[in-house]
Amino acid sequence: MKKGQVILVGAGPGDPELLTIKGRKAIESAEVVVYDRLVGQEIFNLIPENAELINVGKESSNHTVPQEEINQILLKKALEGKRVVRLKGGDPFLFGRGGEELELLSEHGVPFQEIPGITSAIAVPAYAGIPVTHRDCCSSLHIITGHQRAGKTLSINFDALVQTKGSLVFLMGVSALEEICRGLLNAGMESDMPAAVIEKGTTPSQRPVLATLSTLPQTAKEKNVKSPAIIIVGKVCAYSEQFDWFDNLPLKGKTVVVTRPKERAGTLSSKLRSLGANVVEFPCIETHPFIPCPEMEKAVENIAHYEWLTFTSPAGVSALMEFLERSGRDVRALGSIKLAAIGPGTDRELRKHGLRADLIPEIYDGAHLGQALCNVKPEGKVLILRAQWGTKALTDALDSGNISYDDIRCYETRYTAPNTENVRRLLVPGTIVTFTSASTVTGFVSALGKDTDFSAITAACIGQQTETEARKYNLHTITAEKATMNALIERIVNTSENSSNL
């Protein structure tokens, strides 16, 4: 029987963008994923839809699946010939019991790999402005597990740790925080030594609690610090207020719901996360090309009859390219036709295929695209490839300029409703929902129901047409000055900084 393979992948400390490139590739090729509780949803989104998911998550004093059983699961799935990814928070070999899981595989000759993850022991302090080493403070770093078995005392040589005079990082130690601090004090460490506990590090919910060694347990209790959190003790903690860059990001603590189609949400979501936002992806629409599409096939066969080819969204470009691929052709089939795009996003989609727009209107909507085409006064015909229910603004503008055109609807927009209940809980004051088209507004409202109370949220709209659609449902709107992602993000940031309501 053909043996499969097991790949231990460290998912990192929480920020999905701290996942390594190699780890991402392994996840995207997995047939089976065995995962822990500390893996974020954004990383789950990378898992192939047909992969088998096995939850073996562990919490403090609550092991859903015993370690020995996890080892057997990995072996069983590998012996079935599957490509298995063992997905762990942090790094598999740093208190992650990765070595134990590989022992059984090694005994049975199962091929395996270990892809390191960025450990929370270094990343979480860094996100709180704490450099774990600094030549003015210490010459060593020590990472210690604060985990203890139920009913057992900690087995830590506190005297040796104090003598190092280095930075100390305790993982999985929240429940033993008081015992850890008392042990260091009894070993002779100064009571006023800077110390910190950081909850949910590197995520938008990160919360650093700064104190001294003697006051940290009480301060953490008053702040109701919960796991997952790490403890840092050492003079380096004093740099946190000066170096804390993450908590000073403009959207830190803000929840932003992104409603773009799943395949197009990445850029907007990534930019919002880089500004500290808690991004929840809620794709409300999907685009599907019409297969077959005789009108488009006929138009492409007679492409020389047209002077301009016009796209109102990246989805139109994708539909055309998919059609060319299915018919065994490529962009050369388009000949020397000129290309018009409604905005930079559509132009970027063209550039992926070695093309670029000859015309982009100054204002990125259908009416201005039509007017821009009228201004160039085409002598030949215009071919429009767009959605089934596209706005009339484009064709009305062409009609007013007596421009001849063929308007071909080559794809449809379908409304989806994933994780509706999770999003419904986010309809609270301060939540921002981004809308990059009128159809995302319609999809959002359809998913949650027209009778839903949307009054608490702010609808961030990319343009006037989107804003008009949002106001039909009495949404409080803010609108980008230009219909671009960067302008939309700028509008969100400015509103967040200037309004106490967000």
Co-location of 338 and 363 in the same domain: yes
Confidence of residue 151 (pLDDT cuts 50, 70, 90): low
- Residue-by-residue DSSP string for 323-382: HHHHTT--GGGGTT-EEEESSHHHHHHHHTTT---SB--SS-SHHHHHHHHHHH--SSEE
In terms of C-beta density within 10 A (0-12 exposed, 13-18 middle, 19 or more buried), how is residue 377 classed?
exposed
Residue 422: per-residue pLDDT: 86
Co-location of 274 and 341 in the same domain: no
Q: 108, 112, 110, 78: which is closest to 98 by C-alpha?
A: 112
Contact 32, 82 (CB under 8 A): yes
Domain boundary among 59, 87, 118: 118
Query: Is the confidence at residue 149, as pLDDT, over 80?
Result: no
For residue 452, give the DSSP letter.
Answer: S
Residue 197: per-residue pLDDT: 98
Percentage above 90 pLDDT, the chain: 78
Residue 62: per-residue pLDDT: 52
- Dihedrals phi, psi of 106, to nearest 5 degrees: -65, -40
Distance of alpha carbon 269 from the chain centroid: 6
Distance of alpha carbon 13 from alpha carbon 38, whole angstroms: 8
Q: Which residue has the higher pLDDT, 376 or 416?
A: 376
Distance of alpha carbon 127 from alpha carbon 7, whole angstroms: 28
Co-location of 159 and 56 in the same domain: no
Region class of 139: left (phi > 0), else alpha (psi between -120 and 50), else beta:
alpha
Distance of alpha carbon 197 from alpha carbon 223, whole angstroms: 10
For residue 502, give the DSSP letter.
Answer: -
Percentage above 70 pLDDT, the chain: 96
Domain of 178 in residue numbering reads as 122-246
Residue 59: per-residue pLDDT: 54
Distance of alpha carbon 308 from alpha carbon 190, whole angstroms: 76
Confidence of residue 286 (pLDDT cuts 50, 70, 90): confident
- Per-residue model confidence as pLDDT tens digits over 393-418: 999 999 999 999 999 999 988 888 77
Q: Are strands 229-233 and 194-199 parallel, antiparallel or unpaired?
A: antiparallel
Residue 415: per-residue pLDDT: 84
- Residue-by-residue DSSP string for 214-277: TTHHHHHHHTT--SSEEEEESGGGGGHHHH--GGGSTTTT-EEEE-S-GGG-HHHHHHHHHTT-
Q: 265, 268, 283, 256: which is closest to 439 by C-alpha?
A: 283
The answer to whether residue 36 is catalytic is: yes
Contact 36, 88 (CB under 8 A): yes
Co-location of 242 and 126 in the same domain: yes
CATH code of the domain covering residue 487? 3.40.50.10090
For residue 175, give the DSSP letter.
Answer: G
Co-location of 225 and 275 in the same domain: no
Region class of 449: left (phi > 0), else alpha (psi between -120 and 50), else beta:
left
Distance of alpha carbon 2 from alpha carbon 442, whole angstroms: 50
The one-letter amino acid code at 14 reads G
**How big is the chain by its Cα radius of gyration, in Å?**
28
Query: Is the confidence at residue 501, as pLDDT, over 50?
Result: no
Domain boundary among 216, 246, 276: 246
Co-location of 183 and 269 in the same domain: no
Domain boundary among 56, 86, 118: 118
In terms of C-beta density within 10 A (0-12 exposed, 13-18 middle, 19 or more buried), how is residue 132 classed?
buried
Residue 155: per-residue pLDDT: 86
Instruction: Compute the average pLDDT of residues 289-311.
Output: 94
Average pLDDT across the chain, whole number: 92
Percent of the chain that is helix, strand, coil (3-state, to 5): 40, 20, 40
Among 58, 271, 381, 482, the one annotated catalytic: 58
Distance of alpha carbon 179 from the chain centroid: 37
Co-location of 190 and 262 in the same domain: no
Least confident of 80-89, 255-264, 322-331, 357-366: 255-264
In order of 144, 225, 285, 405, 500, the CA distances from 385 in angstroms are 60, 55, 19, 11, 43
Longest distance between any two alpha carbons in the chain, whole Å: 89
Contact 191, 212 (CB under 8 A): yes
Contact 357, 342 (CB under 8 A): no
Distance of alpha carbon 472 from alpha carbon 14, whole angstroms: 38
Residue 502: per-residue pLDDT: 44
Confidence of residue 299 (pLDDT cuts 50, 70, 90): very high
Least confident of 167-171, 233-237, 280-284, 415-419: 415-419
Co-location of 23 and 60 in the same domain: yes
Residue 257: per-residue pLDDT: 95
Co-location of 130 and 219 in the same domain: yes
Query: Is the confidence at residue 61, as pLDDT, over 70?
Result: no
Map residue 290 onto helix, strand or coil.
Answer: coil
Q: Are strands 278-281 and 255-258 parallel, antiparallel or unpaired?
A: parallel
Co-location of 95 and 135 in the same domain: no
The answer to whether residue 58 is catalytic is: yes
Please, which residues bridge with residue 479 across strands? 461
Query: Is the confidence at residue 77, as pLDDT, over 90?
Result: yes
- Per-residue model confidence as pLDDT tens digits over 456-468: 999 999 988 899 9
Distance of alpha carbon 93 from alpha carbon 8, whole angstroms: 9
Among 15, 36, 91, 365, the one annotated catalytic: 36
Instruction: Compute the average pLDDT of residues 103-127.
Output: 96
Distance of alpha carbon 178 from alpha carbon 216, whole angstroms: 8
Among 60-74, 207-221, 438-452, top mean pLDDT goes to 207-221
CATH code of the domain covering residue 156? 3.30.950.10
Q: Are strands 167-171 and 229-233 parallel, antiparallel or unpaired?
A: antiparallel
CATH code of the domain covering residue 82? 3.40.1010.10
Query: Is the confidence at residue 358, as pLDDT, over 80?
Result: yes
Co-location of 453 and 481 in the same domain: yes
Count of structural domains within the chain = 4
Co-location of 214 and 267 in the same domain: no
Distance of alpha carbon 179 from alpha carbon 410, whole angstroms: 66
The structure tokens listed for 172 are 């999985």
